[in-house]
Amino acid sequence: VVTRDACIARDAADELAALRNSFTLPPNMIYLLGNSLGPLPRSAPAHFQRVVQDEWGAHLIGGWNLSWYDEPTRLGERIATLIGAGPGEVVVADSTSINLMKVVYAAIEQQRSDGRILVGYEAGLFPTDIYVASSVARSVGGSAVALDIVDGELPDLPDGLGAMVLSHVDYRSGRLLGMRALTKQLHDRGVLAIWDLSHSVGALPVQLDDCEADYAVGCTYKYLNAGPGAPAFVFVRDRLLASTRVLPEGWFAHREPFAMSPSFAASDDIRRLLVGTPSVVACAGLHASLDIFDSTDIAKLRAKSLALTDLFTEVVTATSSDVDVVTPMDPDVRGSHITLRHESAYPIVRALIDRGVVCDFRAPDGMRFGFAPLYLRHVDAYDAAVAVVDVIRSETWRDPRYAMRETVT
């Protein structure tokens, strides 16, 4: 097994190591939840300060003409470079749940004239995606069906299926799906592919155009480090844009919002995916984080993420047989977090957090460890693995205070 000294040597040779200095990370903490909420970029407070003090404070409503109005598309263009999208295919707005609602509705609208009003979703999808897919399908007289993807293969698809929602990386297991093959299989059967990139964007290369994905959504507060509640993004394949109808039709999607016309006419461009006024202040955090991505390369980040998840898993499994590794270790199907299973996962996670190893619990028995390659070191992966084994072996997790549930787990 690799030694701690070898990990220190790997960090010394790591060309991405300096990127860690771009973030505020509390001392004595190994932060393994960048897959849930990324840390604060050091430059973010200055970006917030600029928007709040220099723009809002000095210009008041003039800020809209200064730069605010175009923030959704400006940020969309920046995110496009991380997800293999072209100009005019991505916009930043609302939450992932709301953006998913827009594109599921749009997809079914495209398909319903062929009698396709069923929405498929990958069994085990993040709950909000299931709720959104089901409620939108119901609202158009259809329904949503869970479909099991086994070994990267779709099952037989039901007649009447119009669209399918898939998660690129599974939030629970960390399994990565083959976007190209699955999108093609869906297209061969006349089904539109909607991808949730929340757990892949910023951690691994995504090639939406190349894979011919139809629609995609994703969070910016995870690996994109834009801050709690920062707006999400939505992607529409250029060939589908003109036929994409969005519900609700809001004034920011209007071709001429300030004509104040009582009738709606959708914008010709990606702005038709907007609804109302964007969260300008929250957008500042996303700019700060994307500046850091601009200074590096997603292929290098992916290589480091794989090295970190390999290292962590290797040390845990070589020194303990008390946990099962849920995440597939084949790099072709592995995301950027590792999930371990243990029947006492909840108190183990609480004990780890107490030791400064910040990870989380996913019911019923999962422990998630996110390895964000922008700021984590090899030695962090090593120390975290040693802590996991030690907490289990020493049974410190049996302390009754670790059994108490917190609101957010």
Kindly state whether residue 232 participates in binding ligand PLP, applying the rule CB under 6 A.
yes
Contact residue for ligand PLP among 90, 166, 193, 219 (CB under 6 A): 219
Phi, psi of 214 (to 5 degrees): -90, -50
Is residue 196 annotated as a catalytic residue, yes or no?
Answer: yes
Q: What are 252's two structure tokens?
A: 């920011």
Nearer CB in complex with ligand PLP: 80/219: 219
Catalytic residue among 69, 215, 221, 252: 221
Q: Candidates 9-17, 95-103, 245-253, 293-301 — which segment interacts with ligand PLP by CB under 6 A?
A: 95-103
> Which residues 117-146 are close enough to bind ligand PLP by CB under 6 A?
126, 128-129
CA–CA dist 253, 277 (Å, integer): 10
Structure tokens at 271: 């702005």
Residue 220 found at the interface with ligand PLP (CB under 6 A): no
Are the CB atoms for 241 and 271 separated by under 8 Å? Answer: no
Please state the closest distance from residue 339 (CB atom) to ligand PLP, in A.
13
Rg (CA), the chain: 22
Among 10, 30, 83, 96, binds ligand PLP (CB under 6 A): 96
Ramachandran angles phi, psi of 192, nearest 5°: -85, 145
Whether 252 is a known active-site residue: answer: no
Q: How far is the CB of 278 from ligand PLP (least distance, A)?
A: 15
Q: What is the dihedral of CA 155, 159, 163, 164, to 10 degrees?
A: -20
> 203: closest CA among 181, 184, 183, 218?
218
Residues 204, 305 contacting (CB under 8 angstroms): yes
Least separation in angstroms between CB 394 and ligand PLP: 32
Residue 355 C-alpha from the chain's centroid: 27
Taking the least distance from each CB to ligand PLP, the nearer of 36 and 185 is 36
Q: Pick from 89, 104, 13: which is nearest to 307 by CA?
A: 13
Q: How far is the CB of 366 from ligand PLP (least distance, A)?
A: 14
Q: What residues from 360 to 379 belong to the interface with ligand PLP (CB under 6 A)? A: none
Write down the least CB distance from residue 223 to ligand PLP, Å. 11
Task: Map the footprint of ligand PLP across residues 281-310, applying CB under 6 A.
Answer: none
> Does the protein bind ligand PLP through residue 279 (CB under 6 A)?
no
Residue 43 or 279: the one with the smaller Cβ distance to ligand PLP is: 279
- Considering only 167, 225, 305, 336, the residue that binds ligand PLP (CB under 6 A) is 167
Shortest distance in whole angstroms from residue 226 CB to ligand PLP:
11
Burial per residue of 312-334, b for 16 or more beta-carbon CB atoms within 10 angstroms, e otherwise: bbbbbbebbeebebbbbeeeebb
Question: 369 catalytic, yes or no?
Answer: no
Place of tokens 């004595």: 28
Please tell me which residue in 196, 360, 365, 383 is annotated as part of the active site.
Answer: 196
Q: What angle do CA 24, 292, 87 make, to 5 degrees?
A: 140
Residues 387, 403: Cα–Cα separation, whole Å: 18
Interface region with ligand PLP, contact rule CB under 6 A, candidates 92-100, 102-110, 115-123, 332-340: 92-100
Torsion over CA: 139, 140, 143, 148 (sign): negative
Contact pick of 97, 279, 296, 396 for ligand PLP (by CB under 6 A)? 97
Instruction: Show the site string, 171-210: x = touches ligand PLP by CB under 6 A, - = not.
Output: x------------------------x-xx-----------
- How would you class 376 by CB atoms within 10 Å of its CB: exposed for 0-12, middle for 13-18, buried for 19 or more? buried
- Catalytic, 368? Answer yes
Number of residues forming the site for ligand PLP (CB under 6 A): 13
Q: Which residues are identified as catalytic?
A: 126, 196, 221-222, 368
Residues making contact with ligand PLP (CB under 6 A): 95-97, 126, 128-129, 167, 171, 196, 198-199, 219, 232
